[in-house]
Structure 1
């Protein structure tokens, strides 16, 4: 194999792992949102015991919906990047650093928001449990 083929295989493996991470974040964020929203609307008296929990829960919801949006935008950015590569190959070299930077921005933002949202849900659980 040529070095270019090996490099391409490495990037394909990295891309596969990124897709797996994005899929896991979609599922976990969506599940956490569904469960927490369902619990709150099913048991509104829980938040009256600890007013701070409501504010933290709203932050958790926003932080959990943010990675879903970020990873959708990341996928759109990858599609745009591939479109430019296929239809405008001469422009691709000049545009690639910008689209790669945008991809990194969406990816890192998504992961950080996901982690923050999950931490906020744990804080809400601790507040409601009185720990």
Structure 2
């Protein structure tokens, strides 16, 4: 299971890295026009991560420490990852309906936040590959 999870995450993070770079090269107007595609891409990260965590938990109600250990991080890091993912989800929902000016203002920081999440998922995938 862990090898499959690592492969799935590798593919998604690779796709997301390309997407982030594309979004950074777009004009603010083009970024605004592509918000639907952006929301879809970011939602894929949420969906995959949530499914993988459910599969790892197997209904046992694992603690953050146990789940973090499986993902190659501490319990505190796992808690922060879950909180950061929720903040990212809220942010992308807000950007979906934001004005062009607001997208222009918030997109650089949003893409940085998304890139940090991608980096975290890449590190987790590397850990899962090694187990």
TM range (shorter): 0.5 to 0.7
2:20 paired residue number: none
SS at match of 1:26: helix
* Aligned residue-pair number: 98
The TM-score, its normalising length taken from structure 1, stands at 0.52
Unaligned runs of 5+ in 2: 1-25, 58-65
1:26-37 maps to which residues of 2 (within 5 A)? Answer: 26-37=39-50
Separation in 2, partners of 1:108, 1:35 = 24
Please report how far the alpha carbon of residue 21 of structure 1 lies from its aligned counterpart in structure 2 after TM superposition.
Answer: 4.4
Separation in 1, partners of 2:43, 2:115 = 13
Please report how far the alpha carbon of residue 17 of structure 1 lies from its aligned counterpart in structure 2 after TM superposition.
Answer: 1.4
Q: 1:16 to 1:125 in 2, by over 3 A?
A: same
Root mean square deviation of aligned Cα: 3.4
1:115 paired residue number: 115
Higher helix share: 1
2:99 paired residue number: 78
Which of these two proteins has the greater Rg computed from alpha carbons?
1
Is residue 61 of structure 2 the alignment partner of residue 40 of structure 1? no
